[in-house]
Structure 1
Amino acid sequence: MASMHGNSPKTLRQDLLAQRKQFVGSASYATTQATILANLTHFLADYDEKVQSIALYCPIQDELDLRPTLLTWAKSKADKTLALPFARPDKHLEFYTWQEADLLIPSRHGVPEPDPNNPRRSQVVPDCILIPCVGWSESTAGEKTQYWRLGYGGGYFDRTLAQLRKAKPNLLCVGIGFNWQKLNDAQWQAQTHDEPLDAMLTESGLVITY
């Protein structure tokens, strides 16, 4: 579905966002959405022991809304917490615990964010980060397959992940996307500063790098 390009990530990003808008309005979207959310529920069950805290996101620009599924998960277990990212001026993300009724403040990019000064919500380093993809790709080196995320181009995610992985080497970072968003090498290749995802969750299920 994604079309061919010269090497402009900006044009590619715009095309993918337009395609996502079209896809969300299509007849097949509801089924795809339900399948991904069911796959997310399977993932939460499979990784129950490894994952106590999950960072999610407030959906913008037709991103998949994972909040109802994750709230159900967090409410059903005593020891589980959810967190949302806060974008610092230095283009790093911090994560703060989140509950359903919390007041969120729009960032300058229009993303609803937690209030970092709320004394009742602590900063956390999550066990797992769920991150929406504008596009994604896979690359294989030897026996190892890696997954890569094309985002909005701000670099917040790569900077944050590089830092968090030093503090928490077993951090699980899962890209959320659709099969049709998968890009080939002619369309886009990850750069040296890009941080790989640990797994990719789509309507086909979870694919993970070991």
Structure 2
Amino acid sequence: MIDMHGNSPKTLRQELLKQRKEFAAGENYPQITDRLITHLNRFLETGGLLLETIALYWPIQDELDLRSILVDWSKNALGRRLALPFARPDKHLDFYEWRDGDRLIPSAHNVLEPNPNNTSRPAIQPDCILIPCVGWSTAIINGKPHYWRLGYGGGYFDRTLADLRKKNPKLISIGIGFDWQKLDEAHWSAQSHDEPLDLLLTESGLLR
């Protein structure tokens, strides 16, 4: 589906976002997303049993909406919490507890975020972060597959993951994408500042 050899990262992102919009409007979209959600539910029923806090994202620009699935997960056992990111001016993310129905505020990028001044929703350190992908790539390093995310270019998640991993080496980062978004080296390759994902979730399954 992707034919963008030699394009700049900015042009690549624009083309991928255009294709994602078309993909989300396609007749096969519900069946494909159902497969991805099935794999996510399977993870939540197994690995999710050990998690207490999952950071999700507020979907924009045709990102897959996983809010209802995660709200159900949070309600299925005591002590489970959800969090949403808040973008700081220094391009790092803080995470604040979020409950369905909370009033959110628009960011400078017009993304709905938690209010950091809401004392009833404290800042928390997530055990697991779900991160939407504009594109993604993989490479074998020391005999093991590694996955990278192409995002919107702000670097928020890369900076945040680097900081959080120092505090919590057991943190799990899961990229959320689709098979067609996979990029080869002719399209894009990760840079030294890019943080790898621990797992990548697509309609084909959970890639480890």
Query: In which range does the TM-score fall when normalised by the shorter chain?
Result: over 0.9
Aligned residue identity for 1:185? E
Aligned residue identity for 2:64? L
Tell me the distance in 2 between the aligned counterparts of 1:7 and 1:71.
Answer: 39
Q: Deviations over 1:87-115 (max 9, x none)?
A: 00000000000000100001010100000
Identity within the alignment, %: 60
The two structures have a TM-score, normalised by structure 1, of: 0.97
Tell me the distance in 1 between the aligned counterparts of 2:111 and 2:4.
Answer: 30
Q: What's the counterpart of residue 94 of structure 1? A: 94
Tell me the distance in 2 between the aligned counterparts of 1:201 and 1:14.
Answer: 22
Tell me the distance in 2 between the aligned counterparts of 1:4 and 1:111.
Answer: 28
Q: What's the counterpart of residue 162 of structure 1? A: 162
The two structures have a TM-score, normalised by structure 2, of: 0.98
Q: What's the counterpart of residue 72 of structure 2? A: 72
Aligned residue identity for 1:113? E
Aligned 8 A contact 1:134 1:150 in 2 = yes
Aligned residue identity for 1:46? T
Aligned residue identity for 2:165? R
Aligned residue identity for 1:16? L
Tell me the distance in 2 between the aligned counterparts of 1:50 and 1:135.
Answer: 29
Aligned residue identity for 1:191? Q
Q: Deviations over 1:109-146 (max 9, x none)?
A: 01000000000001111000000000000011121110
Q: Which runs of 5+ in 1 are unaligned?
A: none
Q: Which runs of 5+ in 2 are unaligned?
A: none
- Is the aligned partner of 1:105 residue 2:105? yes
Aligned 8 A contact 1:50 1:127 in 2 = no
Q: What's the counterpart of residue 197 of structure 1? A: 197
Question: Secondary structure of the equivalent of 2:161?
Answer: helix
Please show how residues 6-85 of structure 1 align to structure 2 within 5 Å: 6-85=6-85
Q: Which runs of 4+ in 1 moved over 6 A?
A: none
Question: Secondary structure of the equivalent of 1:22?
Answer: helix
Q: Alpha-carbon deviation of 1:48?
A: 2.8
Aligned 8 A contact 1:86 1:114 in 2 = yes
Q: What's the counterpart of residue 132 of structure 1? A: 132
Q: Alpha-carbon deviation of 1:7?
A: 4.4
Q: Alpha-carbon deviation of 1:32?
A: 0.8
Tell me the distance in 1 between the aligned counterparts of 2:7 and 2:34.
Answer: 34
Question: Secondary structure of the equivalent of 1:83?
Answer: strand
Tell me the distance in 1 between the aligned counterparts of 2:48 and 2:92.
Answer: 28
Q: Alpha-carbon deviation of 1:11?
A: 0.5
Provide the alpha-carbon RMSD of the alignment. 0.8
Question: Secondary structure of the equivalent of 1:94?
Answer: strand
- Is the aligned partner of 1:181 residue 2:174? no
Question: Secondary structure of the equivalent of 1:124?
Answer: coil
Q: Deviations over 1:23-50 (max 9, x none)?
A: 0000110001111111111111111343
Aligned 8 A contact 1:175 1:199 in 2 = yes
Q: What's the counterpart of residue 5 of structure 2? A: 5
Question: Secondary structure of the equivalent of 2:50?
Answer: coil
Stretch deviating more after TM superposition (4-13 or 141-150): 4-13
Tell me the distance in 2 between the aligned counterparts of 1:38 and 1:126.
Answer: 23
Tell me the distance in 2 between the aligned counterparts of 1:180 and 1:119.
Answer: 42
